[in-house]
Every structure is written in C-alpha cells, then in structure tokens.
C-alpha cells in the first residue's frame, strides 16, 4: 500500500519500455527511474545496504532513508547509454532475482570485496553496468557513457561528475534497440543476475535457474569477448551538451555528463583520450563482431540507422582500430 502508486506507474513504464517506441516511452522515463530506484533499495539486500551505510538498525530510520534516496541514482542512470536487448532468438529467457536491479562490473567478480554481503559495485565506477529485466524476452542495460566510449581505461575509475541526488537530462533518441542476444549471451546475463541475487531467483523454466551449468565465474571479465553488455560504439559520438530555455527566460546548459558551465571539466573530455578511444573501439568492435550492428539508434529522421554497414563503411571502421591505437595513451586494464 505504501508503494502502491510507484508500483502502478512502474508497471506501466516497464510495459512501455519492453515494447519500446519513442512515442510509447515519452513520459515514462521518470516513472521508470523512480521504480528502479525503489526496487534497488527496498529489497532485503537494498535495505541491508542502507542499514550498513547509514549505520542504523532502526526500521523506521532505514525506511526513511530508503524513501529519501530512492531517486539518488536518477541522474547517473539518465546520463548512461540506454539499450533494450532482446532474447527472442534464444530458447533460454531472462531470470529474475530478489535484487532485481542488477549491477555488474567486469573487474568485480562474485567474490570481490565490493560484492560481498549487501554491497554492489558502485554505479559511479566507469565500467559498472545496470541490468533490469523488463520481461522474459527484454532487458534494459545501462552503461556509463565514459565506459561506452573508452573501455581501455581502468574499470574502477570514477566516471566524470559522479555526484548523486542531482538533476540529469535523458535523450530518448539515443536509446539503442534491436540488440538480439544469442543463447550464450542470455546464459551469461542470467549468470550475472544469479550471482548478484541476495537469496532467491525465479525463472519460467527450471533449467534456466542454473546458468552455472554452462557458464563459469572464471569467465566473468570476458563475457561476450569482454563486451557482452556494451552498446555498439558505431552508434555513439562525441559531444552532447544540451541547451534548454524555460518559459520564464531561465537557461539550462549541461554537457553529456551533467556538468554545468561553471563546473570543472565542462565540455573538456572530448578533447582528450576519450574521442581517440571511441574511434579505436569502433574499429575493434567491427573486427570482433562484423558489419552487422549490435543495437541501433534513431536517425535524425523517423527511422533506425542501417541494420548493417555496407562494405565501404565496414572497411572504414576496421581501419580505425590501428589508426587510433597509437594515439591512445595508457593501456587497457583487465
């Protein structure tokens, strides 16, 4: 009863996102974020985390902290790259857990200190992904933009502007869809969900409950050739500053990481390694997965970008890897 309105609007938002269309999700983004934030914190694992961080065992205090902080991740999630992945080509479907907002960082395996007890890898770490099943066949995958652009950085480095409990801008035109997962990829995702559960999991078929029959935790950092949850970088670009004007004449300007003009780092990341890394990643991704896109975004027009690169575009992308490898400073972390 206490969460009745959130559960009601959350159900509508989940259905809209599972059947994604631009028109269908307009107005549903905020409801989904509130629902996801609530689901992350009101579970036994989430409440244990609040008690741990708030150093309190008082039930009323824990509940108050949960209510006060259920939107603390809204900006971080809004500034991620959003992708709705599809398991319709797989005979195995997604499982659910008692901690339905699942967090994965490839440098934080199941026995890592950051994953013990009620703890999850911090959402502000560059390589942290958020997974949220929408149905048996659909799952929402959120990836920090800095990691989607540069997977050669330290996975445990903080993303730009990691502040919580602030406003953020979401761009529905940049959502990737039509990312079709094969059986192996669904099993790997289910292994992640099972590994991050607190106590319980559920599935439509008994066999789906045991992804460990097919997947080993030793593969944790190398799921999907290391890029299981990554959006196709060929759909990404640099920049992203948004300029808004309100009816009362007030302006609002923020770059893609939510930084305002007076804040350190505003519009600076694109001038350094990040743009070089993105170009290199486009080349590596094309070499690993071929010309067919693994997720597509909307063009400035009404349709999706091409399903597959033509020969000329694919050749161009392949050339980017070596061309930009020499320009990129540092080295890839494990």
| Per-residue pLDDT tens over the stretch 163-207 | 999 989 999 989 999 999 999 999 999 999 999 999 999 999 999
Decide: 82 and 171 in contact? Cβ < 8 Å.
no
Residues counted in the chain: 334
Eight-class DSSP state of 306: P
Decide: 105 and 151 in contact? Cβ < 8 Å.
no
Token look-up 């690993």 returns: 288
**Dihedral pair phi/psi, residue 26, rounded to 5°:** -60, 125
Q: Using alpha carbons only, give the angle 312, 322, 315 rounded to the nearest 5 degrees.
A: 10
At residue 218, the 3 state secondary structure works out as helix
Mean pLDDT, the chain, as a whole number?
92
Structure tokens at 104: 């994965």
Percent of residues in the chain assigned helix, strand, coil, to nearest 5? 40, 15, 45
| Cα 280 to Cα 150: distance, rounded to the nearest angstrom | 9
Q: How many CB atoms lie under 10 A from the CB of residue 129?
A: 24
How would you classify the pairing of strands 176-180 and 81-86?
A: parallel
Q: Where are the alpha helices (DSSP H) in the chain?
A: 4-18, 22-25, 29-41, 44-54, 59-69, 74-78, 145-149, 183-196, 273-289, 311-325
Domain ranges of the chain: 1-72, 235-325
Confidence check: pLDDT of 265 > 80: yes
pLDDT in the model for residue 15: 96
Confidence check: pLDDT of 1 > 60: no
| Cα 22 to Cα 329: distance, rounded to the nearest angstrom | 38
Q: What is the mean pLDDT of residues 214-238?
A: 95
Torsion of CA 102, 105, 106, 107, to 10 degrees: -140
Q: Model's pTM, two decimal places?
A: 0.94
Confidence of residue 271 (pLDDT cuts 50, 70, 90): low
């Amino acid at each position: 009863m206490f969460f009745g309105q959130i559960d009601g609007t959350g159900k509508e938002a989940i259905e809209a996102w599972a059947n994604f269309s631009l028109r269908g999700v307009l107005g549903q983004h905020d409801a989904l974020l509130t629902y996801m934030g609530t689901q992350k914190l009101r579970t036994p694992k989430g409440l244990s985390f609040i008690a741990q961080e708030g150093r309190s065992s008082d039930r009323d205090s824990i509940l108050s902290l949960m209510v006060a902080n259920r939107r603390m991740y809204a900006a971080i999630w809004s500034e991620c790259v959003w992708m709705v992945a599809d398991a319709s080509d797989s005979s195995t479907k997604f499982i659910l857990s008692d901690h339905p907002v699942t967090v994965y960082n490839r440098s934080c395996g199941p026995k890592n200190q950051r994953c013990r007890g009620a703890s999850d890898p911090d959402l502000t770490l560059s390589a942290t992904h958020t997974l949220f099943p929408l149905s048996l066949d659909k799952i929402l995958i959120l990836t920090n933009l800095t990691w989607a652009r540069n997977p050669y950085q330290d996975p445990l480095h903080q993303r730009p502007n990691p502040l919580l409990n602030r406003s953020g801008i979401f761009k529905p035109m940049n959502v990737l869809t039509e990312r079709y997962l094969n059986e192996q990829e669904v099993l790997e995702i289910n292994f992640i969900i099972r590994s991050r559960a607190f106590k319980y999991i559920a599935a439509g078929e008994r066999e789906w409950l045991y992804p460990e029959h097919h997947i080993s935790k030793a593969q944790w950092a190398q799921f999907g050739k290391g890029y299981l949850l990554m959006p196709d970088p060929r759909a990404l670009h640099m920049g992203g500053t948004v300029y808004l004007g309100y009816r009362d004449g007030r302006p609002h300007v923020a770059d893609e990481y939510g930084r305002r003009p007076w804040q350190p780092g505003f519009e600076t990341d694109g001038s350094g390694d990040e743009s070089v890394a993105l170009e290199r990643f486009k080349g590596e991704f094309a070499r690993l997965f071929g010309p067919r896109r693994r997720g597509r975004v909307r063009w400035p027009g009404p349709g999706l970008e091409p399903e597959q690169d033509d020969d000329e575009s694919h050749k161009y992308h392949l050339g980017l890897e070596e061309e930009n490898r020499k320009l990129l400073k540092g080295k890839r972390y494990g």
